[in-house]
Amino acid sequence: MSFIDRWTTNTLRPVNRMKIAVIGQSLFGQEVYKALQKDGHQVVGVFTIPDKDGKADPLAKEAEKDGVPVFKFPRWRLKGQAIPEVVEKYRSVGAELNVLPFCSQFIPMEVIDSPKHGSIIYHPSILPRHRGASAINWTLIHGDKVGGFTVFWADDGLDTGAILLQRECEVYPDDTVNTLYNRFLFPEGVKSMVEAVKLIDGGTAPRIPQPTEGATYDPIQKKETAKINWDQPVEGIHNWIRGNDKIPGAWAEFDGQKLTFFGSTLLDNGFVAEGEPLELLGASRPGIITKRGLVLFGNDEKMVLVKNIQFEDGRMIPAAQFFKAADSDTLQLSDDERKISEEIRAAWKRILTSVEMIEDSTDFFKAGAASMDVVRLVEEVKLKCGGLQLQNEDVYMATKFEEFIQMLVRRIRGEDEEELVVDYVERTVNNMTIRMPHQLFINGQFQDAEGGRTYESINPSDGMPICKVSLAQIEDVDKAVAAAKDAFEQGEWGKMNARDRGRLIYKLADLMEEHQEELATIESMDSGAVYTLALKTHVGMSIQTFHYFAGWCDKIQGSTIPINQARPNRNLTFTRREPIGVCGIVIPWNYPLMMLAWKTAACLAAGNTVVLKPAQVTPLTALKFAELSVKAGFPKGVINILPGAGSLIGQRLSDHPDVRKIGFTGSTPIGKQIMKSCAVTNVKKVSLELGGKSPLIIFRDCDLDKALRMGMSAVFFNKGENCIAAGRLFVEDTIHDEFVQKVVEEVKKMKIGDPLDRSTDHGPQNHKAHLNKLLEYCQTGVKEGATLVCGGKQVPRPGFFFEPTVFTNVEDHMFIAKEESFGPVMIISRFSNGDIDGVLKRANDTEFGLASGVFTRDINKALYVCEKLQAGTVFINTYNKTDVACPFGGFKQSGFGKDLGEEALNEYLKTKAVTIEY
C-alpha cells in the first residue's frame, strides 16, 4: 500500500449528484465518464478534441448518445492567454468539479480554478518520480520495479499539484507501455478517478503536497532522441526498447537506414543464438537474426530478443524474416484469391467510413482505425477466409491494404509456415512404406544430437538394426528445456485459451488415427508387440487418451470457498488451477506410445510444455508422434523428444532447475533416485508409476473357464511386459490341479512368431538384456525348488523370443514369489480351501501395490477381498480392464500419483488460492 492508499479505506458518506465537467478524450475518458454517470453524478458538460477524419472521439460519441452537451475546442489558449469565448462556454455549464481523465490540451487556470471543488487530473506515474508527457515511458526506461498512477489536484505547474491518491503495481521484466496500460493503468485508473470524486464529495479528499526529492521532468520521447546507446548492459538496452514501444520506437542504423525495434525480451544465458549476423552501427558485436527473432548484445555479453523490425517506410516484419527476400516478392493472386481480396477491401471500407475508396496504398491506421477496429478486422478475416485466425499484431505489421492482402494470401496458402525438415528412414514392411524420423526433436525441429552421437535401434524379431537414432547429450536437454520454458512463458502456447488448446490436442489425436497402421507397424518393429495388439492397445488407447484429455482442456476449474468475513468488509475466496510449467516425462519400453500418451495428454491438457525421454530401446513411435504434433499445428517448444540414456538424460531432467515436474514410469530403484534428485534440486513435483507384483486370487466358486482365460491374459498379455501383469496367482486348493492342467494346455496352443503375422499370439521380448534377465529369473526359480511345468527357455530362432513359462509349488519365501519378472512367466501358488484372510495376508505381503484381481461368484466375498487388497487397482472377475477415464496408479513402492481420468490432471496442475476483500 502506498502512502496515499490509507485515505481510500475511510467510510464514505452517500454520493450527491455533483455537477461535473469531464475534460479529456479517448477510451479512457469515455470509461471514466460512464463510471461517473453510473455512480450517480451529473456530467453537465464534456470538453474534448475536434473530430478527426470525420470520426468523433469515443468520449464525445458516448456523451452525445446520452444528450450531454459536448464541446470540441481546437484550443483553449492563444499565445499563452485563455480564449474568453471558450472560457465563457465552459462556465455556462455550471460545473462544481473538473475531472480530467486523459487530457492532451493545455487548460488555462481560469478553467482549472473555476469550479467550487477545483480540478483533478490523472497522471500515469507515481508522482513525483516521473513528470511530463512521457512519464510511463520513463518508468520502463529507468527499469523501475514499481509503477502506477496518481490522481492529483491541478495547478499551474501541470503535474506539480497536491496529491489526492495513488496506486502502485509491479512492473514485470517484459512489460511495455501497452501491457502496463492494459493490465493496470487503464482499469485501475478508471476506478480511482471515480474513487477520487467520492472522496471529494465526502469531504475527505486529502491535499498532500508533492515532495521535491526525486522529482524529474524527463524529456518527451521523440524519434530523433530514441536511438539506442550500445555502450550499456543488455538490461538497459531492453528497457530502452520497451520504454519506446510502440511510440516513438527505439532504433539503430543498418546499411544507412533506420531500423526500429519492437517486442523485446531478455534471454537466458543458456540460449544459443544461431543465425545470420546483422551489422548495426556502433554495436560492439553484430546482432543475429535467428528463427525466433533478432538477438542483440549488451556490453555485458548478455542477450535480448527483438520480435519485430520496422523499416523507414513504415513496413514492419517479424525480425526472423529480415533476410528472407522471398517475403518481398509480390504474389500473383488466383481468381479465388482476387475475390477474397475484394471482400476484404469491402470490409476495410465498412470499418474506415471516412475514406471514399480503399486504394492499395491506403494505410489502415492513418485512415483513422483504432484498436477496436483491429479486432473487428481480425473477425472479418476469420469470417471471410474459412476461419483463418490472424493475431492483432498481424494487422500492425501490414498496415497498407496491398501489404495486408499479400500477408493474408501467404497465410491462406500456408507459405508463412516454416517447413518441417525430416530426414526419414524408410522401410517397406507390413504391406506399406513407413517413414520414420530418427533425430532428436527440439523446439519444433528434428536435429542431430550434440556431437552427432547416435546409436542403433534394434528389431527384437531378428536382432537386426532398424536405423541409427540420435543419442541425446546433456547440452541437448538444456536446449530442449530452454525451448519448453520459452514456449510456456513467452510463446503462443502460454497465451492460448483452453478451448483452442483442446482443438489442437484433438487434431493431434485425429492425425494419430489417420496414421494408426503406420504407428502400429513402427511399434511392432521397435518393441516386439504383436501388430494386432499394437493396433488395438498400444496405438488405439493412445488415440483415445488424447481425445479424452482434449475434452478436459476447457473444464479445468477452480472453486469458490466461503471463509470467515472480515466485518464490516466482506471477502471472496476462490481457487485457480494453473499449469506447472516445463514437465519432464520419462517413459518405459513396454508400451512406448501408450505410456507417452498417458502422461503427455494430461500434461498438455493442463497447459504445460513437455520434454520427454522415451526408453532408449524404443524411441521410434515417440519421434513419429513429434512429427504429427507439428502437422497438428503445435507451437514450437511445446513438445520435445530426447532419445537417450536414462542415467544421463533422465538424470539431467530430474536435476534441471527449470523443470518443475517429473512424471516417471519404470522400476522402483530408479523411481527412488528420481525422487531424491527432485528433492535436492528445486523440490519438483513428482509422480511415479513403479514396479509391481500384482496378486490374482482365484477362488473355487469362480467361473473357471473365465478365470482361466483372464488369468492367461493377466500374465501373457503383451508378452508379460505389462506393469499390471499378475505377478503371482493364488489358486484355491480344490481347483488348483485342474487350473494348472488347463493353463498348460492353453500355453501349448500359443503361436510364437513374427509379431507382424496376424496369427501370432506371442512376439519377442523387447531387447536382449531383458531376455537374459528372464532366463536368469527362471533358473533362480528352479534352484529354489519351484516346479517348472513348461517353458523357461529361449526359443531357438533369430530374435529375442522366450517361451511362455509356468511355475507351480511356489513358496512365499522364494525369489520368484517376491520379485517381478516383467515377462511371460506365470507363478502359481495354492492356498487352503476357505482361507480368505490367510490368502489376503500372503497377497499383501509385498512392498508393491500396483494392481490385483479376484475371481469369485460370491459378491460379498469379492467386495471383502477388494476392501482388504492393498493395491491401486482391483479387478473383480476380469483383468487388464483399463480405460482412459479411470485413474491408474499404485500404492506403497509401486509409486504415487495417477495416470488417466480426471485425477491425472492433478499431477500437472497447481492450485492457487485468491482472497479479495471488498
Return the HEC string of 873-909: EEEECCCCCCCCCCCECCEECCEECCECHHHHHHCCE
Residue 415: the pLDDT is 62
Q: Which range among 77-91, 103-117, 413-427, 550-564 shows the weakest confidence by mean pLDDT?
A: 413-427
Cα(166)–Cα(2) distance, integer angstroms: 7
Active site residue 689: yes
How big, in percent rounded to 5, are the helix, strand and coil portions of the chain? 35, 25, 40
**CA-based nearest residue to 620, from 484, 516, 525:** 525
Residue 11: the pLDDT is 37
> Is residue 738 scored above 50 in pLDDT?
yes
The residue with greater pLDDT, 895 or 263, is: 895
Q: Is the peptide bond before 246 cis (omega within 30 degrees of 0)?
A: yes
* pTM value > 0.75: no
The residue with greater pLDDT, 412 or 642, is: 642
Summarize pLDDT for 445-501 with one digit per residue, the tens: 999 999 999 999 999 999 999 999 999 999 999 999 999 999 999 888 998 989 999
Binding positions for NADP(+) are: 587-589, 613-616, 646-651, 666-667, 773, 820-822
Active site residue 583: no
Binding positions are: 105-107, 159, 587-589, 613-616, 646-651, 666-667, 773, 820-822
**Helix 498-514 vs helix 540-550: crossing angle, to nearest 10:** 160
Cα(435)–Cα(518) distance, integer angstroms: 8
Are the C-beta atoms of residues 304 and 295 closer than 8 Å to each other? yes
- How confident is the model over 709-715, as a mean pLDDT? 97
Query: How crowded is the C-beta side of 853, counted as CA atoms within 13 Å?
Result: 29
Q: What is the sign, positive or negative, of the torsion defined by CA atoms of 533, 535, 538, 541?
A: negative
Label residue 533 by pLDDT band (50, 70, 90): very high
Residue 899: the pLDDT is 97
Residue 2: the pLDDT is 40
Strand partners, 807: 788, 827
Cα(240)–Cα(249) distance, integer angstroms: 9
For the chain, give the longest Cα–Cα distance. Answer: 114
- How confident is the model over 735-745, as a mean pLDDT? 98
Domains annotated for the chain, with CATH where assigned, are 19-202 (3.40.50.170), 223-321 (3.10.25.10), 335-413 (1.10.1200.10), 424-555+578-690 (3.40.605.10), 695-881 (3.40.309.10)
Quick one: what percent of the chain has pLDDT higher than 90? Answer: 76
Q: Which range among 111-120, 126-135, 735-744, 752-761 shows the weakest confidence by mean pLDDT?
A: 126-135
Binding positions for (6R)-10-formyltetrahydrofolate are: 105-107, 159
C-alpha cell at 279: 551489422
Residue 237, φ and ψ in degrees, nearest 5: -65, -45
Residue 333: the pLDDT is 87
Q: Which residue out of 96, 689, 721, 907 is catalytically annotated?
A: 689
Q: Which range among 440-444, 487-491, 701-705, 739-743 shows the weakest confidence by mean pLDDT?
A: 487-491
Summarize pLDDT for 332-381 with one digit per residue, the tens: 888 889 999 999 999 999 999 888 899 988 989 888 887 778 888 988 89
Cα(845)–Cα(841) distance, integer angstroms: 6
Q: Which residue out of 721, 723, 732, 762 is catalytically annotated?
A: 723
Cα(344)–Cα(359) distance, integer angstroms: 12
Residue 214: the pLDDT is 77
Q: Which residue out of 41, 117, 123, 547 is catalytically annotated?
A: 123
C-alpha cell at 816: 520368484
CB neighbour class for 290 (10 Å; exposed up to 12, middle 13-18, buried from 19):
middle
C-alpha cell at 349: 471500407
The separation between CA 371 and the C-alpha centre of its own chain, rounded to angstroms, equals 27
Label residue 706 by pLDDT band (50, 70, 90): very high
- How confident is the model over 896-903, as a mean pLDDT? 97
- How confident is the model over 154-170, as a mean pLDDT? 90
Label residue 133 by pLDDT band (50, 70, 90): confident
Residue 4: the pLDDT is 40
> Is residue 822 scored above 50 in pLDDT?
yes
Residue 449: the pLDDT is 94
Residue 416: the pLDDT is 57
Summarize pLDDT for 609-667 with one digit per residue, the tens: 999 999 999 999 999 999 999 999 999 999 999 999 999 999 999 999 999 999 999 99
3-state secondary structure of 546: helix
Cα(306)–Cα(250) distance, integer angstroms: 11
Residue 15: the pLDDT is 45
